[in-house]
Chains A and B, each alone.
Chain A
């Protein structure tokens, strides 16, 4: 029972262009969403988050958009850089569950020079 889904297992983009990663969720109780980035043989690293009371959060080259009615969020990376090549995980949580994160399956991003 996957409550958080990342339907694109991989994405290839040219350096300097925009990367758009998508994430869908089914549990309407989720009220906080996070994106993590993971390099091979390393642990996930927190990237950016958004509360369900917002529809957009921006941090430098990274912007997360939340569409609650569609139960959908996306991560935009502009401009994409070769160092952005990694696996990106979407995660969700809700207040009553404490800090329990439910992760999606990840999207592997390859940024070509």
Chain B
């Protein structure tokens, strides 16, 4: 019973396509996140939702659009994929945003743009 699950695990697609990555957590958390790990292995936050409301929106191209249908799900839709979008995308969740609330991560989605 995976706590934070992402699908798909691998995604290979052509430049210019539109794709979505799904994330679900069964921890009962109310806050969810998307991170991008680039080729240099840095993990950088992209978005965060608390109870379906956007609370963190880093400088991310507007081709990236998160959608939270309920507090257990946070999906990431990417339009017009570019070569630079190739990365590993991690979803995470936490109970609230207080300092003692560590984030729990999914196993990542490796996105490769051809």
Residues of A within 8 A of B (CB): 2, 31-32, 34, 36, 41-46, 49, 51, 87, 89, 91, 93, 95, 97-103, 105-106
How far is it, in angstroms, between the C-alpha of A27 and the C-alpha of B45 when the chains are bound?
A: 17
Residues of B within 8 A of A (CB): 4, 31, 33, 40-45, 48, 55-56, 90, 92, 94, 96-108
Which listed residue (A46, A49, A95, A105) contacts B41, Cβ 8 A?
A105
Which residues does chain A contribute within 8 Å of B42, judged by CB atoms?
2, 103, 105
How far is it, in angstroms, between the C-alpha of A95 and the C-alpha of B43 when the chains are bound?
A: 20
Which residues does chain A contribute within 8 Å of B94, judged by CB atoms?
99
Which residues does chain A contribute within 8 Å of B33, judged by CB atoms?
99
How far is it, in angstroms, between the C-alpha of A87 and the C-alpha of B43 when the chains are bound?
A: 12
Which residues does chain A contribute within 8 Å of B92, judged by CB atoms?
43
Which residues does chain A contribute within 8 Å of B105, judged by CB atoms?
36, 43-45
Known: A98-B55, A100-B48. A34 touches B102 (CB 8 A): yes
